[in-house]
Amino acid sequence: IEIVHKLNKQLVIRVGQCTKMKAKIIDQDNRTVGRLMKIFGPVTNPYGLISLSEEVSEPEKLRLTC
């Protein structure tokens, strides 16, 4: 996922093709570490707000499941 901004346990990302609310965020070990809580911005290239359930050491390795 493309991370635009990080603040504590929240990430703003570029959503891309997956625009399913409450989509799971998984780490490299396939553990669920968060959810897609909000989608906003332009329809052609929206942003998403992710709420993490735990602090993640390498957020660039997270994946969004659709």
pLDDT in tens, the chain (66 residues): 789 999 889 999 998 877 788 999 999 889 999 999 999 999 888 999 999 998 888 888 888 887
> Residue 56 and residue 8: Cα distance in Å, rounded?
10
* Backbone region of residue 9 per phi and psi (left: phi > 0; alpha: psi in -120 to 50; beta: other values): alpha
Q: Say what the pTM is.
A: 0.84
Burial of residue 25 (CB within 10 Å: 0-12, 13-18, 19+) is: buried
Residue 24 and residue 48: Cα distance in Å, rounded? 12
